[in-house]
Amino acid sequence: MAVLRKNDTGLFVKPAPAVYPFQWNWDSAFVAIGLARIDVARGRQEVRALLRGRWEDGMVPHIVFHPASVDYSPGPELWGSASCSAAPQVATSGLTQPPVVATAVRTLHEASPDAGFLEEVLPVVEAWHAWLHRERVFDGSGLVAIVHPWESADNAPRFDRALARVDHGSAPAPMRSDRRPLAAAERPTNRDYARYLALVESLRRCDYRPQSLAETRFAYVDLMFNAVLAAAEADLAWLWSELGERGERASAAATRLRTGLAGRWDEEAAAYKELDLHAAEGEIAGTVGELMPLYASVPKAAQARRLFDEALWAPTRYGPSPEAPWAVTTVSKSSPDFEPRRYWRGPVWININWLLIRGLERLGLRDEAEDLRGMTLRLVEASGFSEYYHPSTGNPLGSPEFSWSAALTLDLLHR
Ligand code: 2M8
């Protein structure tokens, strides 16, 4: 509660005290889930502040730059949203992020029902989800694509191959405020950052609305993004039913997404295959994303069992082992890309554990969920509310006093 209070700007809770001074999309949704346990009214305000950044075509952006004089780069000038016709008054980024908001609204509503709040926000969330199914579909599978790593766990090795195709020219090293408070070894490299910026530059030329995904330099069918969307669509349909409506689009979308995700199961790997749209075939990428359909209740009982035993909790992959007792690692320990300190390339994250715990609970794997919940609480007890953690030592990494780690702990304690 103290971390959330400290990071509260009055309008929104920033992700961390120094590194991230603006409102990020999925951070705020996780924060609202935590606030549902202690201050529902403040949780509703968090959602309202984020939705102020919505674009006319429905997109809810990944960052809302509420006016504030803070030193952060690359900041609003990189995006130039003011010159995009669909953008709102407040400056925002031109991308989106995993749509956790519907799930946050449901959590707030279950904690304290408020039909007025639902009437206010459901049409906005509905329009955002519909935008995803309009702008980001690529075939009949029901799955959607992201067009920039910043739309998901950006530095994850699953994006490396796709990102390597992005020519970043000979531009000088980008200005990065993240590197002042944080160790270089815990953050993305300058070369990857240059590619992120080159991608933004090319998207900016079409006001962030490419004619087709085939034309984009990066298009990835991220399983985590799709699993979050599938669960969010089901939650949205439930919320509509609270208002006496059928929520037909949302419930059909949830079914379609789950079917699409189920089709990506790989029997040999006991995990799900990721898909880079510009590559020939799907792949087992060795990152925790390949377990995420679990969060959306996609696996059948026998698959869920194998996914847990042979991947999630397996000592050589994502689970606890004598040399690295803290789980779940964000990259498989057997992968050559495993880097236990670098952001999204190995460390343990509280939001990832939370998604997996929810998935295990929903599939009835209660003991397994409880083991992971217990480990996650022991980790924050030992090392505080950090952005991420070293899987061998449990040492805190990245920013201290990280909002979603604190907020999701409140939710885990509530079970
Ligand atoms: C990280 O992303 C930002 C860019 O959006 C960054 O690297 O500076 C990611 O972990 C992202 O998932 C998260 O929402 C954001 C704020 O916590 O930080």
In eight-state DSSP terms, residue 321 is: -
Q: Is the dihedral of CA 197, 347, 224, 52 positive or negative?
A: negative
Is the pLDDT at 305 greater than 80? The verdict is yes
Is the pLDDT at 173 greater than 70? The verdict is no
What is the 27 CA–ligand 1 centroid distance (Å)? 9
Average pLDDT across the chain, whole number: 96
Atom of ligand 1 nearest to the CA of 20: 16
Cα separation, 146 vs 268, whole angstroms: 27
389 DSSP β-pair partners: 348, 396
CA-nearest residue, atom 11 of ligand 1: 153
Cα separation, 214 vs 137, whole angstroms: 11
CA-nearest residue, atom 17 of ligand 1: 15
287 DSSP β-pair partners: 331
pLDDT in tens, 235-264: 999 999 999 999 999 999 999 999 999 999
Cα separation, 35 vs 241, whole angstroms: 23
Print the SS3 string covering 82-145.
HHCCCCCCCEECCCCCCCCHHHHHHHHHHHCCCHHHHHHHHHHHHHHHHHHHHHCECCCCCCEC
In eight-state DSSP terms, residue 392 is: T
**Which of left, alpha, beta for 92 (phi over 0: left; psi -120 to 50: alpha)?**
beta
Q: Which helix (H) or strand (E) holds 236?
A: helix 223-242
Quick check: CB of 178 below 6 Å from ligand 1?
yes
The arithmetic mean of pLDDT across residues 181-201, rounded, is 90
Cα separation, 92 vs 65, whole angstroms: 5
- 3-class SS at 178? helix
pLDDT in tens, 104-124: 999 999 999 999 999 999 999
Structure tokens, 173:
């090293």
Quick check: CB of 150 below 6 Å from ligand 1?
yes
The arithmetic mean of pLDDT across residues 185-204, rounded, is 92
Is the pLDDT at 388 greater than 80? The verdict is yes
pLDDT in tens, 39-88: 999 999 999 999 999 999 999 999 999 987 677 778 899 999 999 999 99
Is the pLDDT at 6 greater than 90? The verdict is yes
pLDDT confidence tier of residue 266, bands split at 50, 70 and 90: very high
Show which residues are catalytic.
154, 387
What is the 290 CA–ligand 1 centroid distance (Å)? 20
Quick check: CB of 354 below 6 Å from ligand 1?
no
What is the 63 CA–ligand 1 centroid distance (Å)? 9
Percent of the chain predicted with pLDDT > 90: 90
What is the 365 CA–ligand 1 centroid distance (Å)? 31
For residue 302, give the nearest of 228, 363, 254 by alpha carbon.
363
Let me know: does 227 contact 254? Beta carbons within 8 Å: no
Residue spans of beta strands (DSSP E) within 245-397? 265-266, 271-272, 275-276, 388-389, 396-397
pLDDT confidence tier of residue 177, bands split at 50, 70 and 90: confident
End-to-end Cα distance, the chain: 17
Q: What is the per-residue pLDDT for 185?
A: 86
pLDDT in tens, 58-71: 999 999 999 876 77
Cα separation, 302 vs 364, whole angstroms: 12
Q: Which residues make Cβ contacts (< 8 Å) with residue 59, sequence separation at least 6?
A: 86, 96, 128, 131, 135
pLDDT confidence tier of residue 333, bands split at 50, 70 and 90: very high
pLDDT confidence tier of residue 415, bands split at 50, 70 and 90: confident
Q: Which residues make Cβ contacts (< 8 Å) with residue 183, sequence separation at least 6?
A: none
The arithmetic mean of pLDDT across residues 361-385, rounded, is 98
Q: What is the per-residue pLDDT for 172?
A: 66
Structure tokens, 305:
């069992």
Percent of the chain predicted with pLDDT > 70: 99
The arithmetic mean of pLDDT across residues 77-100, rounded, is 96
**Measured torsion, CA atoms of residues 112, 294, 252, 44, in degrees rounded to the nearest 10:** 20
CA-nearest residue, atom 8 of ligand 1: 178
Quick check: CB of 193 below 6 Å from ligand 1?
no
